[in-house]
Amino acid sequence: MTIEEIKKEIENNNFEWFRKRMPDFPVGEVSKDERPDFLVKTNNGIIGIDITELIIQENQRKLEAMSEKIINLAQKYYKLKKWPDIEVKFNFNKSITNLPKKDYDKIARRIAELVHSEVSKNLTTPWNWCSLIPYELPETPEKISELINCISMICSGENHWSITHVGFAKLDPIKNIQKCIDKKHTKLKEYLTKCSTCWLLIVADSKPSSFIVPNEESLNNVYTSNFERTYLSNYPNQPSLLNTQKNVKFTDNEHENLNNSKK
């Protein structure tokens, strides 16, 4: 599965989770789209629903994204070799964010080979497991030991590779939520060419870059949003309909500033 396919699957899962937990979700035909992500054709018109991820820590998000790319490539290579199924968890340090793109494949292959070597030597019996920390990793030209904090492996009968992350929850994400809404405002005019009204769903997941436990002030705050409805989805809690006020008028300069902030 490619990175783009994984993103689409996550987007679909977020939509379905949201729909099933909204008692007043509009009745109608749902279709997948782009800008906005979903369209719901109802008797009263078309409702657009756009989904966006809440980012609390930009640097941490970069670490998560690059770690996932490397491990997806490594697992793909491992499967192509038809090596024994193994469940693996990786924890990378921030050094991985300095890797040039041209080295991704090389690093991924070396990681897959390292896992296979360990499986062949020590993990031949069901439910055997082991953990490796940097000084236990073999020396390689790619200096894998400088990128990884820990690798954990277990013979569970499944071929599942994942990333573990460590971080702290943010309790007062008001500014982050508003920033997220503001970035989406620049696209709302385009969205409304496909629908009569549009909702925004902001998703906060359990990764450190997005992990929040919003306090009462954050949930009761009045946000500025031109979307008809703005929701915060903070799994496993019920989606929250945020209090919003409209009257936002973006000037050309504000559009330019917001677009530049995304680069």
The whole-number mean pLDDT for each consecutive block of 10 residues of the chain, a chain of 263 residues, reads: 74 93 92 94 96 89 89 94 93 88 92 92 82 80 86 90 84 94 94 96 88 92 96 88 80 46 45
Residue 32: closest CA among 12, 17, 13, 5: 12
Enumerate helices (H) and strands (E) in the chain, giving the number of each: 6, 12
pLDDT of residue 247: 66
Contact predicate 198/227, CB 8 Å: yes
HSE of 218 in the Cβ direction (CA atoms, 13 Å)? 17
pTM: 0.74
Phi, psi of 193 (to 5 degrees): -80, -15
CA dist 259 and 255 (Å) reads 6
pLDDT of residue 263: 44
CA dist 239 and 36 (Å) reads 19
Residue 70: closest CA among 43, 45, 36, 98: 98
